[in-house]
Structure 1
């Protein structure tokens, strides 16, 4: 199964090696240093980028360096990139500068954009649309339900993670979304309300989706895996 958004560089090596044997990991990066580590990973879908939380810490030249790294390493994805009005609103203008640079790169090289968007859901969708990006995944979606139709019409996806078992907004989004745009993620090893998120917990996500969608577990897995293969062109 696919874990479509996971911070592989934060896991201990032995733990990560175990997961790569059982899962197709889409490994996102946070900054230039972690992007360099990500491109060295084997057996994973590699995403390079600068996280919105890190843009204010980026050194001059870091953005250009990550762009060059994406080109040189021929990665299929940029991420984790995006906009954040909830946790770091004070850097929003710089976030947008970085995000637009990554969107230009994604458009030029036909890359997937793995997006972070707390309280900037409509902003990122509009930026993606204006940049004419073909493929994007908005991770841990808890945004407006009425935006889901636009996301679908643009051909983009959202991802649901194990927080859905306790987070009401995540449940509402998972239930309201067209099933053809839903993917799974762990966002591991993030800590959320006592849960250490990691790929194995995706099984809990599947169980919750089966409940919300009123479908057998196997049918949920078939749906989300088909969606992932379509996004990653596999």
Structure 2
């Protein structure tokens, strides 16, 4: 199974090795240092970038260095990047500057963008559209239901993680979304309401989606894996 959004650089090496053998991991980065760590991990899909939470801490030159690293490394994905009005609204202008630069690069190099956008969902989708980005994944989507149609029409995807078992808004999104745009993620090793998110917990996501969609777990896996292969062109 694909884990379409996981912070591989934060896991202990032995634990991560087990996941690499059992899953296709899409490893996102948080800043320049973690981007370099992500590059050292073998057998995964690598995403490099600077997280909105880290933008205000970025040193002068970090953005240009991250862009050069992405160009040089020839990775298929930029992430985790985006906009955040919920947790770090005070740095929003600088976030937009960084996000815009990463989107221009994604368009130029035809890369997937792995997007973080709490309470900035519409801004992020509009920025993707204006930048003419071809492929994007908006992770842990809990945004407006009405925006799901635009996300689908633009050819983008959303990811659902194990929080769907307890997070009502995530459940509403999972039920309303066109199933052709739904992917799975763990967002590990993040902890949410006492849950340690990691790839094995995606089995709980599958069970919940089967319940919400009124299908079998096997049908859920077939759907989300087909979607992931389409996004990553595998």
Distance 1:151 1:168 in 2: 21
Number of the residue aligned with 2:130:
130
Number of the residue aligned with 2:158:
158
Q: Is 1:91 aligned to residue 91 of structure 2?
A: yes
- TM-score normalized by the length of structure 1: 1.00
Distance 1:124 1:95 in 2: 11
- TM-score normalized by the length of structure 2: 1.00
What's the offset of the Cα at 1:166? Answer: 0.0
Flag structure 2 segments of 5+ consecutive residues without an equivalent: none
What's the offset of the Cα at 1:115? Answer: 0.1
What's the offset of the Cα at 1:195? Answer: 0.2
Distance 2:133 2:41 in 1: 26
Number of the residue aligned with 2:208:
208
Number of the residue aligned with 2:22:
22
Distance 2:149 2:56 in 1: 33
For residues 21-170 of structure 1, the aligned pairs below 5 Å read: 21-170=21-170
Distance 1:16 1:65 in 2: 27
CA deviation profile, 1:181-232 (whole Å, cap 9, x unmatched): 0000000000000000000000000000000000011010000000000000
Flag structure 1 segments of 5+ consecutive residues without an equivalent: none
Task: State the SS of the aligned residue for 1:47.
Answer: strand
Distance 1:39 1:115 in 2: 19
Aligned residues: 234
CA deviation profile, 1:126-156 (whole Å, cap 9, x unmatched): 0000000000000000000000000000000
Distance 1:215 1:70 in 2: 40
**Could you list the runs of 4 or more consecutive aligned residues of structure 1 that deviate by over 4 angstroms after TM superposition?**
none
Distance 1:28 1:124 in 2: 18
